Amino acid sequence: MRVVAALLAAAVACALAACGDDGAEPGAPKSATLVLDFQPNAVHAGIYSALRRGFYEGEGVELDVREPSASTDAPKLLEAGRTEFAIVDIHDLGIAREQGAEVVGVAAIVGRPLAAVIAADRDVVRRPRELEGQQVGVTGLPSDDAVLDSVVASDGGDPDAVDRVTIGFEAVSALSAGRLDAATAFWNAEGVTLRRLDIPTREFRVDDHGAPRYPELVLTTTDELVRDDPELVGAVVAATVRGYEVAASDPRGSLDDLVAEARGVESAAQRAQLRALLDAGAFRDPGRLAPGVLAAWSRWDARNGILERTLDPKDTFDTRWVD
């Protein structure tokens, strides 16, 4: 009888403590953190729509969206367990994976490249090969050189004939002040800002000039979380995709969500950026990671020196939630 009583007592205690569920009540939402790639802007509209409209809660997730610090290295944060999810540039994801980081892309955030070479005067530089002999600013990231090389070579130009100047992330000030002839930049951000300043720019978007139409930004997590809690990963992907469906179908409402949820966001600037993204089809097929596109991206990165070798998309991405 003592054994029976002890077993009954243990069963009751287990039930009250949710027995192995870290004390969480059955049906309680799971907590997770998502680190952005940059300060909140129109690229993140779908995430903030999903937050404000309760899509994450509806999937059983209490998601904490955090802005990155100046020194944020998202793959390292993921591997250290300091965040469950992060928005990562696809090139950075590939480099991290090549260096042995156990991180994996699970959904596209932006469905096409955002990188471009932007000339300050459309009448001086009318086509990519006319960048030969011009001073072109680059940030210093390997992907910048790859973008510039691809754009110039696509028009039969010689990338080595371009005078490259490392300027960090100062494309807007350098071009608007006339200090440079062109610069690598994001057409959805710096490109929009320069047009709003009435700078007569000409854009050469990299996927129009030699690069495949790869997803620029990717929702990323760890191999461990995919293995141990695929339900959580699937829930975050589903809610995020639904948020980007809102951004595509109701951009005004999605912009309101972004402005309401993210502090310090300037509405007019983000409206212009969101319009540019939508006009370019950047939110078409939300979340989709097409294996053929990913393979083409990997080959392009390896050919242009961003990666040391091509990567197998099956090792770098898990597409089960966005097929």
Task: Give the CA-trace dihedral at 61, 47, 143, 168, to 10 degrees.
Answer: -110
Q: What is residue 106's predicted lDDT score, i.e. its pLDDT?
A: 98
Query: 225 and 88 in one domain?
Result: yes
Among 192, 208, 224, give the residue marking a domain's end: 208
**Nearest C-alpha neighbor of 163 from the set 131, 135, 139:** 135
Buried-exposed string 14-29: b where 16+ CB fall within 10 A, e elsewhere:
eeeeeeeeeeeeeeee
- Say whether 2 sits in a helix, a strand or coil: helix
Whether 19 maps to a domain, the answer reads no
Q: What is the pTM of this model?
A: 0.90
- Say whether 218 sits in a helix, a strand or coil: strand
- Taking 50 as the pLDDT cut, the residues of the chain under it are 1-23
Amino acid identity of 85? F
Q: What is residue 8's predicted lDDT score, i.e. its pLDDT?
A: 40
Q: What is residue 264's predicted lDDT score, i.e. its pLDDT?
A: 87
Q: What is residue 26's predicted lDDT score, i.e. its pLDDT?
A: 62
Q: What is residue 283's predicted lDDT score, i.e. its pLDDT?
A: 97
Q: What is residue 5's predicted lDDT score, i.e. its pLDDT?
A: 41
Give the C-alpha separation, 87 to 44, whole Å.
9
Total number of domains constituting the chain: 2
For the record, the structure tokens of 229 come out as 């809690």
Helices (H), 128-222: 142-154, 171-176, 190-196
Q: What is residue 14's predicted lDDT score, i.e. its pLDDT?
A: 42
Q: What is residue 25's predicted lDDT score, i.e. its pLDDT?
A: 64
Among 208, 223, 249, give the residue marking a domain's end: 208
pLDDT in tens, 140-188: 988 999 999 999 999 999 999 999 999 999 999 999 999 999 999 999 9
Question: C-alpha angle 224/60/247, rounded to 5°?
Answer: 95
Range of the domain at 92: 28-112+214-316
The CATH number assigned to the domain holding 157 equals 3.40.190.10
